[in-house]
Amino acid sequence: MDLSEWAFIGVFLAIAGILPAVPIVLGWLIGPRKPNPIKTDTYECGIETIGDAWVQFKVQYYVFALVFLVFDVEMVLLFPWAVAYGNLGLFAFVEVLIFIALLAVALVYVWRKGALEWT
């Protein structure tokens, strides 16, 4: 395998990190800096901030994340299949039919359970 392709990505990652970091640092250096307690307060519609924002959040988001996880993992497994599909026989089609049926059952289950309703 040719590793220079990935070397390119590596260098790219470094440059891509520098590109946005430079303006931010530059802005930090050029811009004025006169903090005061009211200015650096957390914004809350102009009134004084009450409490902390680092709270426990609604479980609903977590359920969506779980559903997503199932699909995402299965899709990673579908990509190799899609690449090789042209060279595979009818068996590959039957196999993927079962595979997607399993996914669909999962979706129906979640749907019937009411996890997709936003309450």
Partner 1 sequence: MLRDALIQAGMNAGLATFLDILGGVLVAATFGMAWVLFGIWIERKVAARIQNRVGPNRVGPYGLIQNFADALKLLIKEVIVPRNADRPVYFLAPVLMVVSVILIAAVIPFSSVVIGTDLNIGLLYVLAVGSLGTLAVLMAGWGSNNKYALLGAFRAVAQLISYEVPMVLALLIPVMLAGSLSMQDLVRSQHVWFLFVAPIAAVLFLIAAHAENGRAPFDLLEAESELIAGYNIEYSGMAFAMFYLAEFMHAFFVAIVFSVLFLGGWRGPGAETYPILGMFYLGIKSMVVYFVTVWLRLTVPRVRIDHLLALNWKIMVPLALANVILTAFLFKLVPTPDYSAARAIAEGEFTGVASGLYRLLGPEFVAMLPLAGVLLVGNIALLVAAAALLRWLARRRRQEVEALVDETEYAPGVAAAE
Residues 85 and 96: their CA atoms lie apart, in Å, by 10
Min separation Cβ 6 and partner 1, Å: 8
SS3 content of the chain, % helix, strand, coil (to 5): 65, 0, 35
Residues 79 and 107: their CA atoms lie apart, in Å, by 20
Integer CA distances (angstroms), 58 to 68, 70, 116, in order: 17, 20, 14
Min separation Cβ 75 and partner 1, Å: 5
Residues 95 and 20: their CA atoms lie apart, in Å, by 46
Min separation Cβ 77 and partner 1, Å: 11
Rg (CA), the chain: 25
Min separation Cβ 108 and partner 1, Å: 9
- Residue 49, SS3 per DSSP: coil
